[in-house]
Amino acid sequence: MTDLDLYLASTSPRRRELLAAAGLHFALCEPGPEYAPGGGHEHASERGEPLALAIERATRKGMGAAVLDAGVPVLAVDTVVDLDGRELGKPRDRGDAEAMLRQLAGRVHRVHTAHLMRQASSGRAELLVASAEVQCGQPDPRELARYLDSQQWRGKAGSYGVQDDAQGFFRVIAGSFDTVVGLHVPAVRELLRRMRGPA
């Protein structure tokens, strides 16, 4: 498996799509535990500042990932939606999604994506964070209902995907679109460059 650029320790189809579109050769591996024992879960955030939580989770996923080839770096990623210093996690159900979307409506929020790359053979680990700002418009009741009916919000932080075709009210106003989708390709390329360079 020496032709691999990296292992991706993620279950996210969106991250797989971004890496594949970038022409990177990767295989999947099981990530480490996302949440600390006794901590939160995807529907109930741990306490803490959203950026710090993204870093902690990416680190746990990456450091705990099991890889087949210790010479191939492993990438773990975590994305959080930050509304006024408070994390909006993944919705439990439609009602939860609607409540989050109403909180975001008409406001600007931040999205942080933390990338942790490590190489088991050297013990080396590097971290990069990409952040972006997103403007949420004021969807009318029909627009909101259409998006909720689409089910595209399921499993997504903040109850939305900026790339979802069933909505048109989220817009990236600063930073990169892929950061909001869930993986910043230039950050991954920089981490690979660092892994190949001198320690």
What is the share, in percent, of the chain residues with pLDDT greater than 70? 92
> Which phi and psi (to 5°) does residue 148 adopt?
-65, -40
Query: Given this model, what pLDDT does residue 39 score?
Result: 56
**Alpha-carbon 5 to chain mean position:** 20
Q: Domains of the chain, with CATH numbers?
A: 6-196 (3.90.950.10)
Angle, alpha carbons 42-43-47 (nearest 5°): 80
pLDDT digits (tens, 9 = 90+) for 79-98: 999 999 999 999 999 999 99
- Amino acid 114: pLDDT: 98
The average pLDDT across 165-185 equals 97
Buried b (16+ CB within 10 A) or exposed e, 119-158: bbeeeebbbbbbbbbbebeebeeeebeebbeeebbeebbb
- Can you give the pLDDT at residue 44? 58
- The residue with greater pLDDT, 34 or 89, is 89
Phi and psi torsions of 150, nearest 5° = -70, -25
Instruction: Report the predicted TM-score, pTM, of the whole model to 2 decimal places.
Output: 0.92
pLDDT of residue 38 exceeding 60, the answer is no
Active site residue 5: no
Catalytic option among 5, 78, 82, 178: 78
